[in-house]
Structure formats: C-alpha cells, structure tokens
Amino acid sequence: MDIIDKKSIMNNNNNNSLTKCLGECEIGDELEVIKVDAGGSATQRLASLGIVPGVKIIKSRSAPFNGPIEIIVKGTKIVLGRGLVSKIIVSCNNSCNL
C-alpha cells in the first residue's frame, strides 16, 4: 500500500472518519484499527498483542528522533518500533488532523 492510500479520506455515509497510518496520528488520539498491512509474522505478532482490526487503541507517547511509539490496547501499554507502527492503518474521528 502506498503513502497516498494511507492518507486518503474515507467517506462512510454520515461519518467523516480519516484513515491513516498510526505513526501520523497525534498523541492522545483515540483510534480504531482498520487493518494491519504487514507480512504474516508481523501480523501474527501484532494479533498476539491484541492489535487486530476493530480494536480501539490510544496513542499515548512518541519518542523523539524516530524512536518507538507507545500505545494503549485494552488497558495495556505496548511499545512498538516505527517500522511496525507504519504497518497499522487506523481510523479516527474529526479530532485527527492530516
């Protein structure tokens, strides 16, 4: 999936939800995972951590200089590297900005 697809705007009837990569979202945003665009082992690892389509997550911290990102999934804090984070496609409310 190319970058343009990750930044596209979805029109779901009356919802104005945005679809983008988790790494592009702001700290504190409450998000819903749309899909995991990764290989088999990476998708399986994320699924074992509870990151599957439909789950709600919160981006809680972001380390400087392209460091890891901390998210909260079902009350559990998880730290992921930027490479893996870039494979997680999320949907957010109108509070998110492109």
Q: What is the pLDDT of residues 30-73, one digit of tens each?
A: 999 999 999 889 999 999 999 999 999 999 999 988 899 999 99
- Whether the Cβ atoms of residue 34 and residue 55 lie closer than 8 Å to each other: no
**pTM of the entire structure?**
0.75
Give the residue-averaged pLDDT of 80-90.
Answer: 94
In the chain, the domains with their CATH numbers are 3-92 (2.30.30.90)
Alpha-carbon distances of 92 from 16, 51, 65, rounded to whole Å: 9, 15, 25
Helices (DSSP H) in the chain: which residue ranges?
3-6, 40-48, 82-85
